[in-house]
């Protein structure tokens, strides 16, 4: 659920709303004349990066023979 704040209120209380958003981990919808114009969302923590090693683990669906050609030679357009 998001908190809804008018643009004038957001302008007046911007820093306090940002601090509150960080504590609540809740997005803020900013409206102008009652219509949503922007959404302010908490940022993800980018300080902890995952290693790329093992990132694709479990993604191979089939592994028959890695040394065999992907297609038969007669299927190649370059050979015609």
Q: How confident is the model over 72-76, as a mean pLDDT?
A: 77
Tell me if residue 6 falls in helix, strand or coil: strand
Non-local (6+) Cβ contacts of 65 within 8 A are: none
| Mean pLDDT value across residues 1-21 | 92
Query: Given a cut of 90, is residue 1 above it in pLDDT?
Result: no
> Average pLDDT, whole number, for the chain?
84
Q: What is the DSSP letter of 71?
A: S
**What's the pTM value of the predicted model, to 2 decimals?**
0.54
Q: Which residue ranges form the domains of the chain, and what is each CATH number?
A: 1-43 (3.40.1620.10)
- Across the range 49-60, mean pLDDT stands at 79
């Amino acid at each position: 659920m998001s908190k809804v704040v008018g643009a004038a209120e957001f302008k007046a209380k911007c820093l306090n709303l940002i601090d509150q958003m960080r504590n609540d981990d809740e997005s803020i919808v900013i409206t102008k004349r009652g219509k949503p114009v922007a959404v302010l969302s908490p940022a993800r923590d980018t300080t902890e990066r995952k290693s790329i090693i093992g990132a694709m683990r479990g993604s191979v669906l089939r592994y028959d023979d890695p040394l065999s050609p992907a297609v038969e030679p007669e299927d190649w357009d370059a050979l015609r």
